[in-house]
Amino acid sequence: MKKSVILYSVKEKKVYVCTNCGYTSGKWFGRCPACKEWGTCKEYKEQQGKIRSEEAVISSLLLDVKPPLFYQTGEKAIDDLLGGGLAQGAVVLLGGPPGVGKSTLLLQMASKLSEKHNIIYVSAEESIGQLSLRAKRLNIYPQKIKVIPANDIDSIIDRLSRENPQIVIVDSIQAVKSQDSEGLVGSINQVKASAFKFVELAKKKNISTIITGHVTKEGVIAGPKVIEHMVDAVFYMEEEKEGDLRILRGEKNRFGKASKAVILEMTDNGLKIVDDPALLFYHPSRPVDGRALTIVMAGNQALVAEIQVLTKKTPFGIPRRTCAGFDINRLYIILAVLEKRMKLPVYMLDVFVNVAGGLKITDTTGDMALAAAIISSMEELPLNDNSVFLGELDLGGRIRKIQFLKKRIEEARRLGFKNIFSPSTKETNVIPVNNVNELFKIIKECRDVCAPA
């Protein structure tokens, strides 16, 4: 099809860009309002209107389209997470805090992938020596992995174009620098420009590319978020428990379901998949008041969570409330609901909340379990380990249905929980609890819920 060229008139306009973070303004600034750096303002002339552009062409969708080819990583759980394996030509972003285990996971994956595929590991952050030491620690001898220990984007892209591998791993994007872009290595401009070149190469040559990026707290160095929109799939690796457990969670995936997760354990020789993590954070205990169980979801993985509450009379002044693993504002709401709707005298109690094992509950799905644990602590009635509480609390004291209830109930049954408390649903074998008064009654009166004395 013939492409026509349209010409526009060109006007020039001045813009001021922060060379550190990429902040753009129509006015000059001494200190960048975004990243607070001094003396980073640079003037540019921006051309308004396009000089020439190609006419947009209308096409139809293709009827005969083949699914992409997937490279198997050697770990079924990781392949499932990716949507069937690493798709040919896909660009995948792996984010996570420094030290969480991104390089470890990628070296392990690279080792497996290199058995059948041509793979290049771009090590912009670590030397060959450091990489080899890690391989030794992991007990892998990935002779077939080719490594490019460099950080200049143009020479890396040039080399990759000539080598034409099937898979490229970039570790990490913040350590790659681009001569054409302003800013320090790791600044937004630099990260975006380098990521763009990797994506361009991946699409042009059909190279599957995994890019790692560090999530930083300070926010001065650009985090992986700034390139999420450029890539096909985004995964984050987080530390779920002080120490060795890691969760690898999907945020976006053009090749599969995004809401999946895999739990891994960092051992002395690398990361290992935890096969059935549901009971990882749960430890059976002798009956003790102030302890209630619920089921939280980490991606598509159900985990039994143990909420512990300790209430005691405030010695003087304002009551103390602390939370570990639970949102403190949510605790304030639940305490206010229990006080207002049930006249429970929580105003005179110190309340301490802990989610066992370092698990974090970030949504409202632990509400009913927390309310049950508070009541159990106040009434000194231990709940037994046969019960799980699945419900969200509203300000009127009603208990509401939570997301993925069916999956949570299935999982609770599979794990052998006898009493599953949830608001009235179509699900069978669930004990309906529709408001906090019913919950209180159940804990006070139902012998089955309370542990034998």
> Interface mask (CB under 5 A) for Mg ion, residues 47-86, using x and -?
----------------------------------------
The Cα 172–Cα 352 span in angstroms is: 41
* Of the candidate residues 95, 101, 165, 256, the single one contacting ligand TYD (CB under 6 A): 101
> Who's near 348: CB < 8 A, 6+ residues apart?
313, 314, 319
Q: Which residue is nearest to Mg ion (CB)?
A: 103
Check residue 387 for interaction with Mg ion (CB under 5 A): no
Q: Listing from the earlier edge strand, what are the strands of the sheet with 301-313? A: 321-324, 349-355, 301-313, 291-298, 387-389, 419-422, 431-432
| Cβ 44 vs Cβ 30: under 8 Å | no
Indicate the residue among 81 and 245 with the shorter CB distance to ligand TYD: 245
> Interface mask (CB under 6 A) for ligand TYD, residues 134-163, using x and -?
x--xx-------------------------
Check residue 86 for interaction with ligand TYD (CB under 6 A): no
The least distance separating ligand TYD from the CB of residue 270, rounded to whole angstroms, comes to 4
Check residue 96 for interaction with ligand TYD (CB under 6 A): yes
Q: Which does 101 bind (CB under 5 to 8 A by kind): Mg ion, ligand TYD, none?
A: ligand TYD
Indicate the residue among 125 and 367 with the shorter CB distance to Mg ion: 125
Please identify which residue in the block is written with the tokens 């630099």: 190
Indicate the residue among 37 and 126 with the shorter CB distance to ligand TYD: 126
| Cβ 319 vs Cβ 378: under 8 Å | no
| Cβ 167 vs Cβ 120: under 8 Å | yes
The least distance separating ligand TYD from the CB of residue 103, rounded to whole angstroms, comes to 3
CA 382 distance to own-chain centroid: 35
- Which SS3 state, helix, strand or coil, does residue 369 take? helix
The least distance separating ligand TYD from the CB of residue 133, rounded to whole angstroms, comes to 9
Binders of Mg ion among residues 89 to 108 (CB under 5 A) are: 103
Please identify which residue in the block is written with the tokens 């759980």: 77
| Cβ 215 vs Cβ 223: under 8 Å | yes
> Who's near 62: CB < 8 A, 6+ residues apart?
none
Check residue 103 for interaction with ligand TYD (CB under 6 A): yes
The Cα 37–Cα 188 span in angstroms is: 14
Binders of ligand TYD among residues 263 to 302 (CB under 6 A) are: 266, 268-270
The least distance separating Mg ion from the CB of residue 171, rounded to whole angstroms, comes to 6
CA 61 distance to own-chain centroid: 33
Positions touching ligand TYD (CB under 6 A) are 96, 98-104, 134, 137-138, 266, 268-270
Positions touching Mg ion (CB under 5 A) are 103
